[in-house]
Structure 1
Amino acid sequence: MHPTENNDNRHFHRILYTAEAILSCEEKTWHCEIVDLSLKGCLLRFELPWEEDPEKLYTLALRLSEQVQIKMELTATHVVGNKVGFKCEHIDIDSISELRRLVELNLGSSALLERDLLALIE
């Protein structure tokens, strides 16, 4: 889990965080792998090419431990084969607190995290 290359055009730092997660929408669920994660969204990898409706709202559940889980509501922004970029549309206060802690630990800098949070507010 290391920060990706610094790209000054990005408003949010992405962290490489490989973990299994579950994406759901209505009655469907997909097991997926998180490729990278930020305060604003994520990149997910699926077993098969993604052919779902990009207009729908999806829920991502990422279990960090038995007691800690991050849940985000997402919309698809781009698809390349079996990798899909998602934008975070909504996240509850407990999940954003855990995600913030995870990002801060991986960035190694609270100043970089504060920059990301300011960009999120704007």
Structure 2
Amino acid sequence: MTPNKDLQQFQLIFDQACPLLSYDDGEYSCELIDISLQGCLLGFKNTWEQHDLESLYTLTLELPETTPIVMNLSISHVVDNEVGFKCEHMDLDDISALSHFVELNQANITLLDRELIALMHCG
């Protein structure tokens, strides 16, 4: 696949990514704000009330046309309805899939930065 096709596919995948956080028997719908191999930042509709820093949560990131990426997480910080999670465990396949996902995102940001710089110099 060419780099441009890869980036287009990534943007489509990112827009359609569906994160779901689970803990014990409960599930929390959320918004993926940022993600890396070290953890993620998730947004919730309401202020986050779960402050048990010892508990492990599971994030399942559903992506179109691929198997879900699963991360075991612990809470690192809470600010209103945004919660930062630290990655405690991932399987090797999930690490590989997430690395590719993050790499394409970084390439997409670099491409966007170049386009913005070029637009600023056109005027």
Taking structure 2 as the reference length, the TM-score comes to: 0.70
SS at match of 2:30: strand
The answer on whether the counterparts of 2:58 and 2:73 sit within 8 Å (CA) in structure 1 is yes
1:10 is matched with none
1:34-53 equivalences in 2 (<5 Å): 34-52=32-50, 53=52
2:30 is matched with 32
1:53-68 equivalences in 2 (<5 Å): 53-68=52-67
SS at match of 2:99: helix
* Percent sequence identity over aligned pairs: 51
2-structure distance, mates of 1:67, 1:101: 12
1:6 is matched with none
Residue deviations 1:38-91, cap 9 Å, x none? 110000001111111222000000011143211000000000000000000000
Q: CA RMSD in A?
A: 1.7
SS at match of 1:54: coil
Say which structure is richer in helix.
Answer: 2
Aligned amino acid, residue 22 of structure 1: L
**May I ask how many residue pairs the two structures share in their alignment?**
93
The answer on whether the counterparts of 2:18 and 2:63 sit within 8 Å (CA) in structure 1 is no
- Structure with larger Rg: 2
The answer on whether the counterparts of 2:30 and 2:45 sit within 8 Å (CA) in structure 1 is yes
1-structure distance, mates of 2:42, 2:107: 23
Taking structure 1 as the reference length, the TM-score comes to: 0.71
**Segments ≥4 residues shifted beyond 6 Å:** none
1:107, CA displacement in angstroms? 1.6
SS at match of 1:95: helix
1:70 is matched with 69
Aligned amino acid, residue 64 of structure 2: S
1:1-122 equivalences in 2 (<5 Å): 19-52=17-50, 53-108=52-107
SS at match of 1:65: coil
